[in-house]
Amino acid sequence: MGRKFFVGGNWKCNGTTDDVKKIVATLNAGDLPSTDIVGNSQQYILLAEVVVSPPFVFLTHVKSELRPEIQVAAQNCWVKKGGAFTGEVSAEMLVNLGVPWVILGHSERRALLNETNEFVGDKVAYALSQGLKVIACVGETLEQREAGTTMEVVAAQTKAIADKISSWDDVVLAYEPVWAIGTGKVASPAQAQEVHAGLRKWFGEKISADVASTTRIIYGGSVSGSNCKELAGQPDVDGFLVGGASLKPEFIDIIKAAEVKCA
Ligand SMILES: O=C(CO)COP(=O)(O)O
């Protein structure tokens, strides 16, 4: 079976309760790409796996109000079992709330909160051990791209995760070039494809052919309704992690890019 298209919406540290209600209403009313289950026109499955990631404080509200086909993700969780860690949220708490996914290793946390490759690897391993599924982020800075070290950087970030986990079944890898995040400067389809193919090759050489062919590698960085189809047309782009545009009705158009894979 092929890799199911995956679209994540990372709301980051945005939104009021009113904003959240509006976004949820838009998603609930949205015409999402789907296919009927053969012989049963009342039932359908979405062409994309869709996961939205509100700030912690809105997670339970969003989870309870959102249509059941769309899942939720936390934007972070603590590196080990909860306890005396003021301000942190543990993986166990997310599991307890029925939150299935967590985003880990986002470049904003790596850069602003000094999360190292090793720390991110530990977080991914702990979250998986508790039964969460993980959207793990990697990506190079502009400086690293210009120095020609993009593949080296993303391979090292991926290796730090691989070193700590025994299965990639519940991991989606998000390639998010730092220079494309929130800048409106999207990677070209060729640039995205080159890194995605490089990561898949890395999986094949360092992990296994099976992990290389089944792990979804999604792209993030200024994805919009107008550039998503061309990016989705790349063979190794298995979906998106969307920031700014996931707060807007445009997110529905981005989910529809899943149709490109089925055309
Ligand atoms: O960081 C991102 C998703 O995690 C991408 O953000 P933008 O889509 O706003 O560039």
* pLDDT, tens only, 30-76: 999 888 776 666 678 899 999 999 999 999 999 999 999 999 999 99
Is 228 part of any domain? no
User: Which of these ranges, 17-21, 39-43, 112-116, has the smallest mean pLDDT?
Assistant: 39-43
Nearest to 246 by CA among 19, 76, 38, 3: 19
Confidence at residue 101, expressed as pLDDT on a 0 to 100 scale: 99
Confidence at residue 35, expressed as pLDDT on a 0 to 100 scale: 83
Is 154 part of any domain? yes
- Write out pLDDT tens, residues 20-29: 999 999 999 9
Asked whether the beta carbons of 73 and 102 are under 8 A apart, the reply is yes
Domain extent for 255: 5-13+47-221+234-262
Is 112 part of any domain? yes
Is 113 part of any domain? yes
What CATH number is attached to the domain comprising 209?
A: 3.20.20.70
What's the whole-number mean pLDDT along residues 239-245? 98
What's the whole-number mean pLDDT along residues 242-251? 98
Confidence at residue 81, expressed as pLDDT on a 0 to 100 scale: 98
Q: Does the Cβ of 243 fall within 6 Å of ligand 1?
A: yes
Q: What is the DSSP letter of 188?
A: P
Confidence at residue 43, expressed as pLDDT on a 0 to 100 scale: 75
Confidence at residue 1, expressed as pLDDT on a 0 to 100 scale: 58
Question: In 43-170, where does DSSP find H-type helix?
Answer: 59-65, 91-97, 107-112, 117-129, 142-146, 150-162
What span, in angstroms and rounded, lies between the C-alpha atoms of 234 and 237?
5
Is 240 part of any domain? yes
Q: How many CB atoms lie within 10 A of CB 217?
A: 25
Please list, in sequence order, all residues whose beta carbon lies within 8 angstroms of the beta carbon of residue 134, skipping any fewer than 6 positions away: 101, 102, 103, 104, 124, 127, 128, 170, 171, 172
User: Which of these ranges, 40-44, 71-75, 98-102, 161-165, has the smallest mean pLDDT?
Assistant: 40-44
Q: Which helix (H) or strand (E) holds 137?
A: strand 133-138
Confidence at residue 40, expressed as pLDDT on a 0 to 100 scale: 67
**Domain count along the chain:** 1
If you average pLDDT over every residue of the chain, what do you get? 96
Question: Encoding tokens for residue 141?
Answer: 């800075």
Q: Is 115 assigned a catalytic role? A: no
Q: Does the Cβ of 8 fall within 6 Å of ligand 1?
A: no
Atom number, ligand 1, closest to the C-alpha of residue 220: 5
Question: Encoding tokens for residue 106?
Answer: 């986002």
Centre of ligand 1 from the C-alpha of residue 138, in Å: 12
pLDDT at 16 over 90: yes
Confidence at residue 263, expressed as pLDDT on a 0 to 100 scale: 74
Is 33 part of any domain? no
Catalytic annotation, pick one of 49, 108, 115, 176? 176
- Write out pLDDT tens, residues 214-230: 999 999 999 999 999 99
Q: What ipTM goes with this model?
A: 0.99
Q: Is 106 assigned a catalytic role? A: yes
Is 38 part of any domain? no
What's the whole-number mean pLDDT along residues 190-212? 98
Confidence at residue 41, expressed as pLDDT on a 0 to 100 scale: 63
Looking up tokens 């089925």 gives 262
What's the whole-number mean pLDDT along residues 194-207? 98
Catalytic annotation, pick one of 49, 106, 115, 196? 106
Centre of ligand 1 from the C-alpha of residue 192, in Å: 14
Q: Does the Cβ of 176 fall within 6 Å of ligand 1?
A: yes
Centre of ligand 1 from the C-alpha of residue 102, in Å: 15
Buried b (16+ CB within 10 A) or exposed e, 80-106: beeeeeeeebbbbbbbeeebbbbbbbb
Is 127 part of any domain? yes
Q: 74 has which bridge partners? A: 102
Asked whether the beta carbons of 24 and 256 are under 8 A apart, the reply is no
